[in-house]
Chains A and B, each alone.
Chain A
Amino acid sequence: MNDCYKFHTLKKMKSFFSHTIFILLARIFLGGIFVVASLDKISDPQAFTQSILQYKVIGPTLALGTATILPPLELLCGLSLILGVYPRGSALLMSVMLIVFTVMVSSALLRGLDISCGCFSQDPQVSKIGYQKIVENCGLIIVSVWLFFAPNQGINLLQFFKKQPNKSLK
């Protein structure tokens, strides 16, 4: 009886642990992509504004506003997802951003624009848009939506830095 109880407890723990680790890995993967994607945009907002304008969807003022807000938003969402601070909120924002990016790329492809993505590098010669980019984005959308609806949000890495309550005072 005791062995059976131990077995079930261990199995339960193992299942829970692997699920938590899996969620954490997915968070680090998606969050890492957003952090890396934000760095080049943050370093050169002007080049990113030009990348946005290439899509010919929004005007210069709105593009400048987007180039001001989007890179730090990507960075914050990426970091908060990795750390487990506001994981659902960041997964929600990432899903929305990825859907918008995918619509923009699809629209540019349908209009026959031969432009660079502007996703990871602002060099106009690097990473031209294509159907591969749409497939990649769809994969990331699935991950972000799954993280948003996941019942278990994994480990909050900031908990490691929090002070544990001092039980000896009781």
Chain B
Amino acid sequence: MRQALREALILLVAAIGLGVAYTWVTHQGFFMKVQSVPSPPNSNLEMISLVKAKEVFESENALFVDARHEFDFQQGHIRGAVNVSLKDFDIHVAHVNKIPKDRLLIVYCDGAECNSSIELSVKLMESGFTNVKIFFGGWQEWISAKLPIEK
């Protein structure tokens, strides 16, 4: 039993080392933010708060873009939002290109812990969109505030 526990401990430590090294090298998992958060001086990306997102929503001047997976989008999303899931961005490109490039886009994902909104915003800006903002509080903050949603 002691031998088995020793073996299990070695495997566990090796897995932790391997996991941390892999995510560090590939900039995923814990190290995702380091890779994907754009530095403000070099980027036009702007993070907006819930209050600002609500103002923009009520003014009806912006298009909300949901960066989450299609399945999550179907479960519920900000009213009027369109789904451009980061994972299937290439599939959505034709649809995205129909939106005027100067349209104000508010990109969001699940919440502060996810980075899809940032990564999608970068891709949208690379595609030529000039007015992209990130609602970093995302879906979780929106539903916590009981703001309009649809399914």
Contacts and interface: CB of A to CB of B under 8 A. Distances in A.
Interface of A: 42, 45-47, 49-50, 53, 60-61, 64-65, 67-73, 75-77, 80, 86, 88-93, 124-125, 148
B32 interface: yes
A73 B17 CA distance: 10
Given A77-B11, A86-B11, 8 more contacts: A45-B23, A68-B20, A69-B15, A73-B15, A89-B3, A89-B5, A89-B10, A92-B5
Contacts of A124: 69-72
Given A89-B6, A124-B71, A46 B15 contact: no
B94 to A, nearest CB: 22
B23 to A, nearest CB: 5
Given A68-B23, A68-B29, A73 B5 contact: no
What is the predominant secondary structure among interface residues of chain A facing chain B?
Answer: helix
Interface residues of B, number: 33
A72 B15 contact: yes
Interface string B74-88: 000000000000010
B4 A76 contact: no
A88 B14 CA distance: 16
A76 B69 contact: no
A86 B9 CA distance: 10
Nearest to A53: B110
